[in-house]
Structure 1
Amino acid sequence: MHPDILGWVATLVLVATLVRQMIKQHRAAHPETVSRWLFLGQMSASALFTLYSYLLGSSVFVVTNLLLLGTAITGQFLAWRRRQRSTTPPPPC
C-alpha cells in the first residue's frame, strides 16, 4: 500500500471529526465557552503547516492543512454569528 493512502484516510477521519465537533459546538447552549484563542491558534498553525508542507512537497499535508484552516475559519465564523444573534435585541412588535 502506498503511504499516501494512509495520509488521505487520516485526513478524512480528522476532517470528519472536526466537522462533527463544529456542528456540536454550533448547537451548544453556550458556544461562547470555546476560546477565540483556540480558533486563532488553529488558524495560525494550519496556515504555517500548509506552507511547511508545500515547501516539503507533500500534497497530502498541504490539502490536510488547508482543510484544517477551512474548519477553523468556518468555526470562527459560526461562533461569531451565534454571538451576534445572542446580543442582537429582537425587533419591535
Structure 2
Amino acid sequence: MIDLIGWTASAILLATLIRQIITQSRSAQANGVSHWLFIGQASASVLFVVYSVLLENWVFTVTNSCLLLTAIAGQWLTRHRRTAGADPAREGGTTAG
C-alpha cells in the first residue's frame, strides 16, 4: 500500500512534466526556458538516481530516471526550437535570395 502512494505520486509528477514537454513542443517560442534549468534538473536527477539505487528504493529510482529523461527531452526541444527560430527556412518560411 505504501508503494502505491509513491507510484501514484510518481505518475502524477511525470504526467505533468510530459504535458509541459508537449506544450513546449507545440510552442514556437523557446525564449523563456533557461539553460540553467536543464543543468540543475539533470544534475539533481542523476544524483537522486544514484541515491535511490543505493537505498534500493525502486519508486524513486524509476521516477528520478524518468525525470532525467524529461530534462533531456526538454533541453533537446528548447535547442531545436531556438535553432529552428534562427533559420526561417526550417519553419517553412522563405529566404531572400
| TM-score, normalising length: structure 1 | 0.90
32-41 vs 67-76, greater mean Cα deviation = 32-41
Task: Report what 2:27 is aligned to.
Answer: 28
Determine if the alignment matches structure 1 residue 49 to structure 2 residue 79. Answer: no
**After superposition, what is the alpha-carbon deviation per residue over 1:25-77, rounded to whole angstroms, capped at 9, x for unaligned?**
23234222110100110000000000000001100000000000000000000
Q: What letter corresponds to residue 74 of structure 1 in structure 2?
A: A
Task: Report what 2:12 is aligned to.
Answer: 13
Distance 2:15 2:85 in 1: 28
| TM-score, normalising length: structure 2 | 0.86
Distance 2:12 2:74 in 1: 18
In the alignment of these two chains, the number of paired residues is 92
RMSD of Structure 2 on Structure 1 (CA): 1.6
Q: Could you tell me whether the CA contact under 8 Å between 2:49 and 2:65 is conserved in 1? A: yes
Distance 1:67 1:9 in 2: 14
Structure 1 unaligned blocks of 5 or more: none
Distance 1:85 1:30 in 2: 10
Structure 2 unaligned blocks of 5 or more: none
